[in-house]
């Protein structure tokens, strides 16, 4: 690693001598009505169940379990091996199967039938039939003769068993996603805090950035800051530098960052209380000065974010937004980001709007107050070394929008 007179800002020193990572030293923790937050979320779920015409919603997605009853044990494990599932009804007890926690909204816990191959092996079909029997018993318990249920992603054998028991199965993901669409005031407070945590980590990344630092050392500071503030995980390790920044979607490596490199990253951070910060920035590593091309690419990305952010307001449709969006230069279209906007709350959420040059968006909808969105840009001219990733997180308000993220952009690249 290159030497530097001030070794107190190396990634190793920042962790070993940590007197900075607890955000509560600098900002007052917001006062959050957790009972009100939980009641709002379960109310939103039940509202969407009624709209979908179901009396029982079966949840296995760890984000859904967190949203419904604030259950967060082994979330990443649960995402690939669903050992826990939750039955929520429109008017009846909420039952957690295979869980290891208690909560105000969990009326009781029961043992689970193993519905993952890891646990059930070749007995999966028999277990799925018992699972379906359990749902039928639950419907009888709550006095419902409605055999239409919503079911989140599970093994096909589970869906087949439900159908064999005379249940009509609809896509539960749509119920969960639509419930999470409109955030309460307390949810917005949680999101603001998650963003503040991420921005503290981003500031330390910027402080530690110098020739000789590796991509993973920088990324580790963001990850560490999140954990130090009781956050959860990152959906990816999206940080790339120098020749690895174009095209995008190359995760952090042990590449040593050099003077003159652009260093781009996307937080993709499940933070405290399970709320998401999705903000991107691209730094420039000195002491070399930015090239003219680096400035031009950065300014294109910045212009796209600012243009599209200005379009956000209640009442505008997804297709109208796409049609009025920033025209991505032809040389950047092939490597352009997968979307120009998407929803965010406890993770990347509905809706998602594609760049216009890739054709009409696959679905339409309307922006509503209480939605939280991220405005995306990646500019990476095909065949060039440099690229720039930028992203802002915004709240749709009654009369427009509010920018929730506030980390500064690079003045030397905008100048």
pLDDT, position 259: 98
**CATH assignment of 7-25+182-414, among 3.40.50.800, 3.40.1410.10, 3.90.230.10, 3.30.1060.10:** 3.90.230.10
Distance, CA of 402 to CA of 415 (rounded, Å): 25
Domain ranges of the chain: 7-25+182-414, 34-180
pLDDT, position 12: 78
Which residues lie closer than 8 Å to 411 by C-beta, 6 or more apart? none
Q: Do strands 238-241 and 262-266 pair parallel, antiparallel, or not at all (unpaired)?
A: antiparallel
pLDDT, position 111: 95
Task: Give the DSSP per-residue string, 349-397.
Answer: EEEEE--GGG-S-S---B--TT-EEEEEEEE--TT-S--EEEEEEEEEE
* Tokens 């979320």 found at: 41
Distance, CA of 65 to CA of 73 (rounded, Å): 10
Phi, psi at 343, each rounded to 5° = -75, 160
pLDDT, position 6: 57
pLDDT, position 8: 65
Neighbouring-strand partners of residue 270: 233, 276
| Residues of the chain falling short of pLDDT 70 | 1-8
pLDDT, position 44: 98
The answer to whether domain 34-180 has CATH 1.10.530.10 is no
Contact 299/413 with Cβ under 8 angstroms? yes
């Amino acid at each position: 690693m290159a030497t530097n007179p001030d070794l107190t800002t190396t990634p190793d020193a920042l962790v070993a001598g940590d007197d900075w990572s607890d955000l509560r030293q600098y900002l007052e923790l917001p006062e959050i009505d957790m009972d009100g937050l939980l009641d709002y979320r379960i109310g939103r779920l039940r509202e969407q169940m009624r709209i979908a015409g179901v009396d029982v919603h079966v949840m296995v997605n760890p984000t859904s379990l967190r949203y419904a009853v604030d259950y967060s044990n082994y979330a990443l494990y649960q995402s690939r091996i669903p050992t826990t599932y939750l039955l929520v009804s429109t008017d009846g007890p909420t039952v957690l199967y295979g869980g290891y926690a208690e909560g105000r909204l969990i009326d009781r816990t029961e043992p689970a039938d193993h519905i993952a191959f890891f646990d059930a092996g070749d007995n999966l079909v028999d277990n799925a039939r018992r699972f379906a029997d359990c749902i039928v018993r639950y419907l009888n318990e709550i006095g419902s003769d409605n055999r239409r249920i919503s079911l989140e992603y599970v093994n096909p054998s589970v869906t087949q068993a439900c159908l064999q028991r005379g249940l009509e199965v609809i896509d539960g993901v749509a119920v969960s996603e639509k419930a999470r669409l409109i955030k309460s005031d307390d949810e917005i407070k949680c999101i603001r805090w998650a963003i503040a945590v991420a921005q503290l980590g981003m500031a330390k990344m910027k402080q530690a950035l110098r020739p000789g630092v590796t991509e993973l050392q920088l990324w580790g500071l963001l990850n560490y800051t999140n954990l130090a503030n009781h956050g959860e995980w990152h959906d990816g390790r999206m940080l790339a530098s120098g020749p690895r920044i174009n095209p995008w979607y190359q995760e952090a490596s042990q590449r040593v960052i050099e003077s003159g490199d652009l260093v781009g990253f996307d937080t993709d951070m499940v933070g405290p209380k399970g709320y998401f910060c999705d903000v991107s920035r691209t730094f420039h590593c000195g002491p070399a000065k930015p090239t003219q091309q680096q400035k031009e690419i950065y300014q294109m990305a910045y212009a796209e974010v600012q243009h599209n952010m200005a379009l956000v307001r209640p009442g505008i449709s997804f297709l109208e937004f796409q049609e009025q969006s920033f025209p991505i230069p032809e040389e950047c279209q092939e490597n352009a980001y997968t979307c120009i906007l998407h929803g965010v709350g406890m993770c990347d959420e509905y809706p998602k709007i594609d760049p216009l040059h890739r054709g009409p968006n696959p679905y339409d909808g309307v922006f509503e107050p209480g939605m939280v969105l991220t405005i995306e840009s990646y500019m990476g001219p095909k065949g060039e070394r440099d690229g720039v990733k930028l992203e802002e997180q915004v709240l749709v308000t009654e009369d427009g929008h509010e920018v929730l993220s506030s980390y500064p952009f690079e003045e030397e690249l905008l100048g």
